[in-house]
Chain A
Amino acid sequence: MSTTYIASLELASGAVLLSAVMTLWRRGVRSIVTMLSLQGIALAAVAMVLALHEHERALLVTGALVFVVKGLVVPTLLRRVSRLDPRSRESRPLVNVPASLVFAAVLIVLAYVVGTRITSLAPSHATHLAPLGLATVLVGYFMLVTRRRAVSKIVGLILVDNGIALVTFLLTSGVPLIVELGSSLDVLLVVVVLQFLMVSMRHHSDTDQLTEMKALHD
């Protein structure tokens, strides 16, 4: 039982970081959102595994909440936005993809070097994995800084949030349910607001471009 607990915890935490890296790798917004959805599911799996191991019912509820909000609802909303805006399919990053992947590798090593100092204070199977969450946060920040598209920036923001959630799950076996509820709904609210903002932005920029083209035509 103990080895399956460790193995599944490692696998799920690894999947969270892997999907973060995959969002940097892929170009199409659609596949990026799919990766985000996978990350939400992996994060929920981490919470569930911890809950089953420590017999905490509250954490199980948190895991279910994470699964619904980050695995299903938020990706669906983002997918709807990307369908509204056909141009957002191709994201044009400030740093090109190979360079950002190499940078991500550097960030991951940095997170490992810094993270192991912290986790060695209270060594256990769960806390050892915390550097993976830290790396997810750093990769999320990197995405937030270097991507131009609004959708990609939202994805970066959610990556940071997921990374923080992973660290809290692993280090403290989860914050109280009410706090997690608050932060999850916060993210949901942010996505909804940004969705409206993006639709109106697109509306504006489109009309702007249209008038420019008319001016050229005249």
Chain B
Amino acid sequence: MKVTVDEDKCCGAGQCVLIAPEVFDQREDDGIVILLEHEPGEGRHVAVREAAAVCPGAAIEVTDTE
């Protein structure tokens, strides 16, 4: 799984951090998303997919890699 984030779309809602704190964080100075893991391990896929699905800014994109 590959994860990308779009900082321009991010509205700093923090849903991703609440759901998958190992993969996402927010910058101290403006609340915008920080991607901690670009290729998270399998154990985190469910949470990452949930975070992408509920992001109010649609700022998280997940692509599957084989």
Same complex: no
Residues of A whose CB lies within 8 Å of any CB of B are none
